[in-house]
Amino acid sequence: MFGRKIHLFTLFGFEVGIDFTWFLLAILLAWSLAQGLFPYYYRGHSTATYWWMGAAGALGLFLSIVFHEFWHSVIARHFGLPMKGITLFIFGGVSEMEDEPPNAKTELLMAIAGPISSAVLGGMFLAAYWGGYSARWPEPVWGVLQYLGWLNLVLAVFNMIPAFPLDGGRVLRSILWAARGDLRWSTRIAAAFGSGMGVLLILLGLFAFITGNIITGIWYFLIGMFIRGAAQMSYRQVLIRNALSGEAISRFMESNPIVVPPSISIHELVNDYIYRYHFKMFPVTTDGTLLGCISSRQVQNIPREQWDQRHVEDALTTCSLDNTIPPDTDPMKALSLMNRTGNSRLLVVEGDHLVGIITLKDMLKFLNLKMDLEGK
C-alpha cells in the first residue's frame, strides 16, 4: 500500500511513520482551513492567524489519527497479534498487522477500539473548548479546539460505516464471522459493502464536480476509489492467506538454484550469469556455504574497463534480512517480505548453508493453480 515513508518516533513500542502522500493531505487541509472554514466561522482575524489555525488543525488531525490507530494496535498486541507500526498517508492512517485476527471476538474489539477512542478524544477537545470559551481564551485557540472536537466525532461516525476495510466494515465482518465461522465468506460480504460504498462516493464525487463543487468532488472521488480498491485488495489478501495456509516453503523453493563461485571475474559474471539467466541478484557459494550476494547494482558501480581484473569475491556483500529467510518461514510472511522490500527472489538459508531460492513468479503460479483447482 505504501511507498517510501519517514520514521517519526516510537510510541510504546509502535513505530509511527508518515507516507509521503501525507504531506499532500497536510498542505491541502491547512490551506482549506486557513482560506475557507476558519475565516467563515471566526471573522475578523489576520491572514497569519488563520494560517496558524490551519497549521494547528492539520497537526491536530495528525495526532488524532495516531491516537485512533494506537488503540487499534494496543488491542491487537493484547491478543498477541504482531504489529509493525502505524503509518499515516493521504487518506488517514493504518495499523500495520502481519496477520489476520485469530477469531471474531478479537476482530470486533480491535475494530471498535478506534472509533471509541476518537469519540473520547472528541469529547476531550470539546470539553477543552467549553473551558477555553468560558475562560475567555483567544478565539483562535478555542476555535481550533472546537474544530478538532467535532472532527474526531465525525471520524468516529464515518469509521463505523459498514464498508470494509473501515472499522465499521470490520465490525460487520466480525459479526458475520461469528455467525457462520467462515472468514473468507465474511470478508467477501464485508468487502462487497466496502466496494459498493466506494462506488457511491465516486458517483457523489462526479455529481459534486459537475455541479461546481470541484474540490469536494475530487475528494469524494479519490476517497471512493481508495475504499473500493482497499476492499478488493483486502479480500484478495484473505484468499491468498487461505491458499498459503499450511504450506511449506519447500512447495515453492528451487532446491538447486543457480549460484556463482567467488573466483570468477565480473566479466564472466555478466556474460555467463546475468545475461544468461536474467536475474538481478545471485548467491555466492563455496561447497554449499553461502559467502554473500552479488547483484547487478553492485556491478554497475564497477567501471567497465575493470570487469576483467575484478572478481566476484571483491564485490560481493553480506546477504541481509531483506533477501534471506529460514526454511521454516511462513509463506505469507515471505510474500509480505517481497512486497515490502521489492525483492522478487529470496534465499532460503539455514545457518550459513544455502538451502534454496524462492521466487515471486513461482509463488504466484502456485497460487493461481491452487485457486483454480480448489475454489473460485
CA angle 172, 332, 341 (to 5 degrees): 110
| pLDDT at res. 192 | 93
- Which domain-ending residue is among 244, 264, 291? 244
As a whole number, mean pLDDT of residues 217-237 equals 85
Q: What is the pLDDT of residues 158-217, one digit of tens each?
A: 889 988 888 999 999 999 999 998 888 898 999 999 999 999 999 999 998 888 888 778
Look up residue 159 and give its three cell numbers: 469509521
307 and 230 part of one domain: no
234 and 333 together in one domain: no
Interior/surface letters 140-149, b for 16+ CB within 10 angstroms, e for the rest: bebbbbbbbb
Alpha-carbon distance of 73 to 84, in angstroms, equals 9
Q: How far apart are CA 228 and CA 202, in angstroms?
A: 9
Of the spans 6-15, 246-255, 306-315, 366-375, which averages the highest pLDDT? 306-315
Pairing of strands 83-89, 14-19: parallel
62 in the same domain as 195: yes
Rounded to the nearest 10°, the torsion over CA 81, 86, 88, 94 is 10
DSSP H helices, the chain, are 21-32, 38-41, 47-78, 104-134, 139-159, 167-180, 183-210, 214-244, 266-269, 275-277, 296-300, 312-315, 331-341, 360-374
The yes-or-no verdict on residue 3 having pLDDT over 60 is: no
CATH number for 339: 3.10.580.10
Same domain, 265 and 200: no
Are 254 and 239 found together in one domain? no
In this structure, the answer to whether residues 171 and 122 fall within a common structural domain is yes
The tens digit of pLDDT for each residue in 289-346 reads: 899 999 888 899 899 999 999 999 988 888 888 888 898 888 888 888 887 777 888 9
Task: Clarify whether residues 199 and 59 are in a common domain.
Answer: yes
Q: Which residues pair with 83 in a beta bridge?
A: 97
- Shared-domain flag, residues 61 and 206: yes
**Model confidence pLDDT, tens digit, residues 70-108:** 898 888 888 888 777 777 766 666 766 666 788 899 999
Q: Which residue has the cell 467535532?
A: 150
Give the amino acid at 93.
G
Do residues 137 and 273 both lie within one domain?
A: no
> Where does a domain end: 244, 279, 305?
244
Domain that holds residue 278: 249-374
Same domain, 179 and 230: yes
Of 215, 244, 273, the domain-final residue? 244
Average pLDDT over residues 54-67: 91
- Number of domains making up the chain: 2
What's the whole-model pTM score? 0.74
Q: What is the pLDDT of residue 335?
A: 85
Residues 266, 231, single domain; the answer is no
Q: What's the pLDDT band for 141 if we cut at 50, 70, 90? A: very high
Alpha carbon 50 to chain centroid distance? 33
Residue 299 pairs in a beta bridge with none
* Distances from the Cα of 116 to the Cα of 247, 293, 322, angstroms: 38, 49, 37
227 and 327 fall within a common domain: no
